[in-house]
Amino acid sequence: MKTFKIAVIPGDGIGPEVINEGIKLMTRIAELDGRMKFQFTHFSWGCEYYLKHGRMMDEDGIEQLKSFDAIYLGAVGYPGVPDHISLWDLLLRIRKEFDQYVNIRPITLLNGAPCPIVGGSKDTIDMLFIRENSEGEYAGAGDWLFKGKPQEVVLQTGVFSRVGTERIIRYAFETASREGKTLTSISKGNALNYSMVFWDQVFEEVGKEYPNVQTYSYLVDAAAMFMIKDPKRFEVVVTSNLFGDILTDLGAALAGGLGLAAGANINPERKYPSMFEPIHGSAPDIAGKGMANPLAAIWSASQMFDFFGFEDIGKQILHSMEKTLEEGSILTPDLGGYASTSEVGASVGEIYTEMI
Ligand code: NAI
Ligand code: MG
């Protein structure tokens, strides 16, 4: 039996509330299954920690995290700490230091989940977004000159290296090829005349190595429209850091809302731990009320099982979530229900147990 060491960073707001449900489910599944065990170590980093210590995490935080098999993160950010600090000093730092250059965001409309477009179903909304996660528009390159003066100038530079662009596109081709799906690249070569022309060129180059994968290439604005008007055309999708960030929130809305959207930050070489998180934020408006939807955090737990090689369990978790949604009586208010965070978590656990 293998023991997996998981670093838990519950973070701020609803982060701890939803992560707690994921941990309970993982523990229950490990006991039922017997092939694995989890050892959870909690790190109380985040905005509260920042207000006490002036930092989002311990100075040697990255060093402390290195020995774990995975990181399970709630959400970071809270009123009182500027968002660019909480984001850069914790989340983006971990993504960059651990070279988690692949961000996997499944956008699948589970049966029973609400969809804002007419006729939406699991048949038509079933995409896998692969977002570049280490550079691009979020490389943090730029300058702020003559701050506060009339001649003030700010520069925010996109960084697209050949290595960085090739590896994400190759990862997407590998995924599409393995799953027998089409691959769509989303870029903006008409307006971004350096970075995205380069992106399109690399997509074509790498594509030559995968003649079995049917490809499409869309401009990001058209892609946003097609995601609503004809979502069926997207299967595996590869795109840049910024475009992926925006389009996956659109995707989250298509697939039932932020309470259902998960994301994995992967270091494919497994040299460093990968990080699993719901994609929503700390939701200060509902924090502390026990009404946050834990399903996104639970979906990210299922991605963790996939990553550890237990895809059978990952699938089973999704089935249990789907049954909970279809049954419809134990849901949080964002999905029109009256149940609490822990009631939904417990329901998924019970359905999982019944189904095996
Ligand atoms: P948010 O995702 O926290 O909330 C947006 C809306 O969705 C709110 O009305 C909230 O109540 C609702 N919502 C989100 N998750 C939900 C859940 N699980 N169940 C039910 N309702 C849910 O985004 P917002 O308000 O823009 O940001 C709040 C804070 O979170 C900010 O400080 C921001 O920087 C941070 N943030 C952190 C992220 C992360 O850690 N990965 C991602 C996005 C935002
Ligand atoms: Mg986002």
Residue 163's SS3 state is helix
> Do 315 and 183 share a domain, yes or no?
no
Give the residue from 129, 243, 121 showing the smallest Cα distance to 184.
129
> Do 338 and 220 share a domain, yes or no?
no
For the segment 196-205, what is each residue's pLDDT rounded down to a tens digit? 999 999 999 9
- Report DSSP state, residue 126: E
> Does the C-beta of 335 come closer than 6 Å to ligand 1?
no
CATH number where 271 lies: 3.40.718.10
Residue 340 pLDDT exceeds 90: yes
- Nearest-5° Cα angle at 9, 8 to 15: 115
Q: Which ligand sits nearest to residue 133's alpha carbon?
A: 2
Supply the mean pLDDT for the chain. Answer: 96
> Do 20 and 134 share a domain, yes or no?
no
The percentage of residues in the chain with a pLDDT greater than 90, rounded to a whole number, is: 98
Indicate which atom in ligand 1 lies nearest the CA of residue 285: 11
Indicate which atom in ligand 1 lies nearest the CA of residue 11: 40
The answer to whether residue 42 is domain-embedded is: yes
The percentage of residues in the chain with a pLDDT greater than 70, rounded to a whole number, is: 100
Mutate to test the pocket of ligand 1, among 17, 92, 95, 258 (most ligand atoms within 8 A of CB): 258
Q: Which of 206, 222, 255 is the last residue of a domain?
A: 255
C-alpha 64 to ligand 1 mean position (Å): 27
**Are 21 and 290 spatial neighbours (Cβ–Cβ below 8 Å)?**
no
Q: Whose CA is nearest to atom 31 of ligand 1?
A: 77
Q: Which ligand sits nearest to residue 256's alpha carbon?
A: 1
Q: Whose CA is nearest to atom 13 of ligand 1?
A: 283
Q: What is the mean pLDDT of residues 57-69?
A: 97
> Does the C-beta of 345 come closer than 6 Å to ligand 1?
no
Q: What number of CA atoms fall less than 13 Å from residue 21's CA on the CB side?
A: 32
Q: Whose CA is nearest to atom 6 of ligand 1?
A: 283
> Does the C-beta of 280 come closer than 6 Å to ligand 1?
yes
Please state the φ and ψ torsions of residue 102, each to the nearest 5 degrees. -115, 125
Q: What number of CA atoms fall less than 13 Å from residue 107's CA on the CB side?
A: 31
Per-residue pLDDT at 100 = 98
User: Hey, what's the torsion of the CAs at 15, 308, 324, 343, to 10 degrees?
Assistant: -40
Q: What number of CA atoms fall less than 13 Å from residue 352's CA on the CB side?
A: 26
- Paired tokens of 153: 């100038």
Q: Which ligand sits nearest to residue 90's alpha carbon?
A: 1
> Do 100 and 119 share a domain, yes or no?
no
> Do 121 and 245 share a domain, yes or no?
yes
Q: Which ligand sits nearest to residue 335's alpha carbon?
A: 1
For the segment 231-251, what is each residue's pLDDT rounded down to a tens digit? 999 999 999 999 999 999 999
Provide the CA 144 distance to its chain's centre, in angstroms: 30
> Does the C-beta of 336 come closer than 6 Å to ligand 1?
no
The pLDDT confidence band at residue 78, using thresholds 50, 70 and 90, is: very high
The pLDDT confidence band at residue 119, using thresholds 50, 70 and 90, is: confident
CA distance 284 to 136: 29
> Does the C-beta of 275 come closer than 6 Å to ligand 1?
no
- DSSP letters along 231-276, please? GGG-SEEEE-HHHHHHHHHHHHHHTT-GGG-EEEEE-TT-SS-EEE
- Report DSSP state, residue 87: I
**Are 270 and 100 spatial neighbours (Cβ–Cβ below 8 Å)?**
no
Per-residue pLDDT at 356 = 85
Residue 42's SS3 state is strand
C-alpha 330 to ligand 1 mean position (Å): 22
- Paired tokens of 125: 């909304």
Number of domains in the chain: 2
Burial of 33 (0-12, 13-18, 19+ CB in 10 A): middle
**pTM as predicted:** 0.95
Q: What is the mean pLDDT of residues 69-96?
A: 94
Any bridge partners for residue 37, and if so which?
3
> Do 234 and 266 share a domain, yes or no?
no
> Do 81 and 143 share a domain, yes or no?
no
Domain hosting residue 274, numbered range:
1-105+260-356
Q: What is the mean pLDDT of residues 321-334?
A: 96
Indicate which atom in ligand 1 lies nearest the CA of residue 296: 18
Q: Which ligand sits nearest to residue 298's alpha carbon?
A: 1
- DSSP letters along 88-121, please? IIIIIHHHHHTT--EEEEEEE--TT---SSTT--
Residue 85 pLDDT exceeds 90: yes
Q: Which of 255, 285, 319 is the last residue of a domain?
A: 255
The answer to whether residue 110 is domain-embedded is: no
> Do 250 and 130 share a domain, yes or no?
yes
C-alpha 356 to ligand 1 mean position (Å): 33
The answer to whether the complex's ipTM is over 0.95 is yes
Per-residue pLDDT at 186 = 98
> Do 178 and 204 share a domain, yes or no?
yes
> Does the C-beta of 287 come closer than 6 Å to ligand 1?
no
- Report DSSP state, residue 141: E
Mutate to test the pocket of ligand 1, among 47, 76, 248, 280 (most ligand atoms within 8 A of CB): 280
> Does the C-beta of 313 come closer than 6 Å to ligand 1?
no
Per-residue pLDDT at 270 = 97
> Do 243 and 338 share a domain, yes or no?
no
C-alpha 246 to ligand 2 mean position (Å): 6
C-alpha 286 to ligand 1 mean position (Å): 9
For the chain, give percent helix, strand, coil, nearest 5: 45, 20, 35
> Do 200 and 169 share a domain, yes or no?
yes
> Does the C-beta of 262 come closer than 6 Å to ligand 1?
no
For the segment 147-187, what is each residue's pLDDT rounded down to a tens digit? 999 999 999 999 999 999 999 999 999 999 999 999 999 99
Q: Which of 221, 237, 255 is the last residue of a domain?
A: 255
> Do 205 and 268 share a domain, yes or no?
no
- Nearest-5° Cα angle at 245, 314 to 23: 35
For the segment 14-58, what is each residue's pLDDT rounded down to a tens digit? 999 999 999 999 999 999 999 999 999 999 999 999 999 999 999
- Report DSSP state, residue 136: E
Q: Whose CA is nearest to atom 44 of ligand 1?
A: 281
